A and B are shown apart, each in its own frame.
Chain A
């Protein structure tokens, strides 16, 4: 199968270690979100996978071979690294035609990907006249040109309008459903949560997590219950009787951490507390991520003291 395999990968720039002994696999058939703050080493890792930068040590392979060893690589791997990669004086169609020619991809594919990314009507305009969102669409079109089994996208939703964000989400889901290997970097948590099945999280060049999205969230943040009542005192009494700690919020609603709606609803109803609103509060990727990075920072601090 065509998976991306990163083994003991390290990249140093001078004395700065951008990627530090990284090992993980990106498997086909799902969208893998590549998370981490700016400067965590996501883009560097992608460049190393694509053979653009040389690793200090370790290996990065795609389907078992180095990127540079692939014959006509665009037919196997599609990548979006930088939305500015197309020359401003060229038209979008000419940019894609040049790319297609180098890997003997039929010209028909150029029109197909232009259509798919909604650029057909502007395809003969110079890229210079494009908005950031349009350039981003062109970069994604270029990545899909060779109908590749492996797709790497660095911050694809950058600069996209709301419509574009919905579009890229659908594209990513479809690519994974078709059995392709999809790695998407982002620093936007909620955006990533909307399309990823699996997460690889980096911090300062090191691997912090490599787990399914659901598991990542549930291991760190317990879901809670959001509740609103006209009789706060009665609610508070009923909750404390059953050992729940409720937190009051300024706008009048309460949250009960680590609880399920089934229990809280039944409990409130039995105590005759009037309910205006009752909802399950899903844990977010953002909360889980900050929980993870908080422990990491603590670990780093302790580590330095010791």
Chain B
């Protein structure tokens, strides 16, 4: 079977589920809103205007994760997976198309989120934004698109692996809100290799670990690839 028709089908599935479209909208609005709030409270010593302008990613990433999770879990209810695999019996190809169909819209929404956050953040920061160069701003925008996409793919892979959206969200959300936060504060080093912390370096003007903005995103990409690989293995290996 050709890949493009399968991808087309998966894109139709995403476009026609209102909850998925709403989630991407929420990603833009929530990120921009919290970035604006963070930018209001700016100007102290060691202040990072880039991080302030993109601060809302902390909340926007939850939307990205929900998007990736629901895009896969909507196929796992009742007989849905059987229906999907009857149409596309090549399971590896089906799951690859699913991943691309998640990545595409999520990247577009993530880049839009980045642009909106940057402009809202600069406007609110006013004079505090003077150290924020356009190159750094562009890095933040691209980073926002890529980071959200990778987090959505990570969630998609875990959902396929666990065959449950609820299980995925109840692992990932506490992980992002609590575990990574606490562990990250206690020690830098190994904690920098966690999927979220590595990818978030791109939102900082300066960094002092061994990872930079792009190598950090590469680490997150490895996590996402591993999750997708495990998910694909589970989709291929079992009775549907």
Contact = CB atoms under 8 A, between A and B. Distances in A.
Contacts of A51: 85, 89
A99 B78 CA distance: 17
B166 to A, nearest CB: 17
A142 B89 contact: no
Contacts of B18: 89
Interface residues of B, number: 28
B77 A87 contact: yes
Interface stretch (B5-13, B24-32, B47-55): B5-13
A212 B195 CA distance: 62
B185 interface: no
A183 to B, nearest CB: 15
A102 B93 CA distance: 11
Contacts of B13: 90, 98
A142 B19 contact: no
Nearest to B9: A102
Contacts of A71: 1
A54 interface: yes
How big is the A interface, by class?
Answer: 20 to 34
Nearest to A89: B17
Contacts, number: 87
A85 B82 contact: yes
Interface string A111-141: 0000000000000000000000000000000
A287 interface: no
Given A50-B86, A73-B86, A103-B87, A85 B80 contact: yes
A97 interface: yes
Contacts of B19: 89
Nearest to A84: B78
A94 B74 CA distance: 15
Contacts of A103: 1, 5, 87
A52 B8 contact: no
Contact of B79 (A72, A81, A99, A104): A81
Contacts of A52: 82, 85-86, 239-240
Nearest to B2: A104
Given A82-B83, A85-B82, A102-B9, 5 more contacts: A50-B82, A82-B78, A87-B80, A90-B17, A103-B1
Interface of B: 1-2, 5-6, 8-10, 12-13, 16-19, 74, 77-80, 82-83, 85-90, 239-240
